[in-house]
Amino acid sequence: MTRSLFPVPQRWNQTAPVPQINPRSAEWQLAQTQLAVAVSDYTSSVNHDDYDDERTHTSHRYTLIFHLQGQSRPIQVLTQRVYSPIEQRVYDVRSQLAYEVESGVTDLVQPLTIEEAIKPQLIAELSYLVGCAARLLSLVPQSVQFHYPIQEAGV
């Protein structure tokens, strides 16, 4: 007996399908509305003494403040857990957007006086933008310059 498995088109904790993001940003719901949006105070952090109900690990995360229409909310996103040199969990951007960024965006979109029908799409688009902004703000140079001072020995 064989059984075909099909991917589930929605997240495990939602009953509605996930809105798709149009690759053409000019056609987004966000482009049709006049919303003031900003991201500020990006910081990354490492906690070497974190605990997750099983064991101690090192967690890597970033925090930023998302501003929408005069409201603001801090969003904290876990990017990686390191349990040992050979065991780690890296959280991809898709799961970061779906589970951590989107909840912060939803909290600020829900009280807005806009049509309920467009709120899910607007939340998806704003979450995507916040996630992209966080990725851009986390960029670090791939090369590091070292400066070794030359000490003159009694010349």
Tell me: the pLDDT tens digits for 145-154?
555 565 555 5
Model confidence band, residue 115 (pLDDT cutoffs 50, 70, 90)? very high
Residue 16, in any domain of the structure: no
Residue 85, in any domain of the structure: yes
Residue 3, in any domain of the structure: no
Distance CA 20, CA 14 (A): 15
How many domains is the chain built from? 1
Q: How far is CA 20 from each of CA 14, 24, 77, 154, rounded to the nearest angstrom?
A: 15, 12, 22, 70
The 10s digit of each residue's pLDDT in 9-38 is 445 455 455 567 888 888 889 988 889 999
Which residue range is the domain that position 41 belongs to?
Answer: 25-137
Burial of 63 per CB tally in 10 Å (0-12, 13-18, 19+): middle
Distance CA 69, CA 22 (A): 23
Token pair of 121 as six digits: 């799409």
The 10s digit of each residue's pLDDT in 55-88 is 888 888 999 999 999 999 999 988 888 888 888 8
Average pLDDT over the chain reads 80
